[in-house]
Amino acid sequence: MSTKRIAIGAAMVGLAAATPMAVRRGEAPWSSQSASGVAPTSIVGGRPFQSVPSGASAGGAQIKSGNPFSFPLDNGFPTLSDDAIKVVNVLAHGTEPNGPPPTLQEDDLTSFQLIAFNEIFEVAFFTDLLFNVTTDVDGFTIEDLKLRQTVIDALVAIQAQEELHADNANAVLSNNHKDPILPCQYQFPTTNLSTALDLAATFTDVVMGTLQDVQLHLALNNAADGPNVVPIIGSVIGQEGEQTGFFRNFNGKIPSAKPFLTRSSREFAFSALNQNFVVKNSCPNIDTIKLPIFLPLTVNTMPVQPKNQLISFSVVVDKPAPPTGLSLVLINGQNVPIVEEVQNAVVRDGVATFQANFPHDEYVLDGLTIAALTKSAGPFASAEDVAKATIAGPGLIEVN
Ligand SMILES: *[C@@H]1O[C@H](CO)[C@@H](O)[C@H](O)[C@H]1NC(C)=O
Ligand SMILES: *[C@@H]1O[C@H](CO)[C@@H](O)[C@H](O)[C@H]1NC(C)=O
């Protein structure tokens, strides 16, 4: 897999040239634990799941385990036959849009490549999570049987819905004479249900922010069919928001995080997926996706409390001197990105650690904040503007 990093920026400031894109222990915000490396253990799909100890049923859902996780599922996913789709539709409580397939511009097809890339990962995550919950894997047991069934019912629907999101994105690509995105292998850092659902809320928040960017591109690109796709993307943003409401509520948070959800960009989503979940060199056609993968930006202050404070970050560097001339940008809600100074930078063992102000109270920085280390101080008008100047990121901060 090629690394489409911002080579000029990195050379300029002495950031490391070679950075692993897969999970690095303790370095990325989503990788507090290393993947176990356990081989796939079980496939039980396409029929009612029989061996669930406490009587809960995942009724015909695809259940498969593996860390790293690999496809296909038993029903053929990511390639679904017409018969397989009928089963998934029932589990997903609906079908893919059945209007004529849109003809899109190259740039919007990049968006759909990213959507497929992301949704296939999400299917992997929720399939593995469903396995863990239904088979009572240590850390994923739920004592209260009613709650257990509620969680299983939710995960069965979410997994099937993500299968349809992925299938639909790949169908759009095929209809526009692009190769469908093929699955990678994925590693998951989570070993209990609470952190798994927190993680799901975080990556879903990034997706919801990114789909805003996808809509903006569809609107600006002026293709004949572009505007017709904007509402479909809107329907998926709402759908993903229903999911995060459930994840948040399960962990004792209020379901709706903010009045206006945090904006993201395609570059940040693609980087985060590659930095945190994708097994290096496991993606057959990732090179067809023309988006950059930034250096990972680690948020060392975790969890971030809802108050004004200095937050500590780190990034891999290949020079002994701390990087200079850089800014730390915070994106939250629909506000103009906040530009902060890089403070107290030190380099040790190839890692630059620095601090930046987190002005929680002035902006009420609850929900998702996307942090990026940039080569300029802006001002930036949007998340995508920030992405254009980003060297390392996204650092993902969730407050409340
Ligand atoms: C499922 O459990 C295994 C074993 O603890 C763990 O490695 C994996 O990350 C879990 N899956 C998810 C999605 O949390
Ligand atoms: C879940 O895992 C996290 C990260 O390892 C740990 O901090 C937390 O205590 C665990 N929670 C439970 C309920 O085991």
Of 11 and 128, the structure prediction assigns the larger pLDDT to: 128
Q: How confident is the prediction for the chain on average, in pLDDT?
A: 87
Pair 249, 395 in one domain: no
Pair 266, 384 in one domain: no
* CATH code: domain of residue 270: 1.20.1260.10
Calculate mean pLDDT across residues 174-203: 98
Pair 102, 239 in one domain: yes
Pair 259, 110 in one domain: yes
Residue 24: pLDDT over 80? no
Pair 65, 128 in one domain: yes
Calculate mean pLDDT across residues 30-37: 32
Cα of 251 from ligand 2 centre, angstroms: 12
Cα of 162 from ligand 2 centre, angstroms: 26
Q: Which residue has the tokens 């009928």?
A: 86
Rounded Cα–Cα distance for residues 186 and 66 (Å): 9
pLDDT tens-digit map of 142-188: 999 999 999 999 999 999 999 999 999 999 999 999 999 999 999 99
Q: Which of these three, 280, 313, 337, is where a domain ends?
A: 280
Tell me the best of 31, 190, 194, 302 to mutate to test the pocket of ligand 2, counting ligand atoms within 8 Å of each CB and taking the most.
194
> Lowest-confidence range among 10-24, 252-266, 340-354?
10-24
Q: How many domains does the chain have?
A: 2
Pair 264, 333 in one domain: no
Residue 116: pLDDT over 50? yes
Pair 359, 313 in one domain: yes
Q: Which of these three, 280, 306, 324, is where a domain ends?
A: 280
- Surface-to-core class of residue 321, CB atoms within 10 Å of its CB (0-12 exposed, 13-18 middle, 19+ buried): exposed
Pair 324, 239 in one domain: no
Residue nearest atom 1 of ligand 1, based on CA coordinates: 132
Query: From the CB of 190, is ligand 1 less than 6 Å away?
Result: yes
* CATH code: domain of residue 379: 2.60.40.10
Pick from 295, 34, 268, 285: nearest CA to 184: 285
Pair 136, 271 in one domain: yes
Structural domain of 145:
51-280
Q: Which of these three, 248, 280, 312, is where a domain ends?
A: 280
Residue 44: pLDDT over 80? no
Percent of the chain with pLDDT over 70: 85
Query: From the CB of 195, is ligand 2 less than 6 Å away?
Result: yes
Residue 212: pLDDT over 70? yes
Pair 120, 235 in one domain: yes
Pick from 19, 83, 21, 3: nearest CA to 46: 83
Query: From the CB of 141, is ligand 2 less than 6 Å away?
Result: no
Pair 244, 327 in one domain: no
pLDDT tens-digit map of 272-322: 999 999 999 999 999 999 999 999 999 999 999 999 999 999 999 988 877
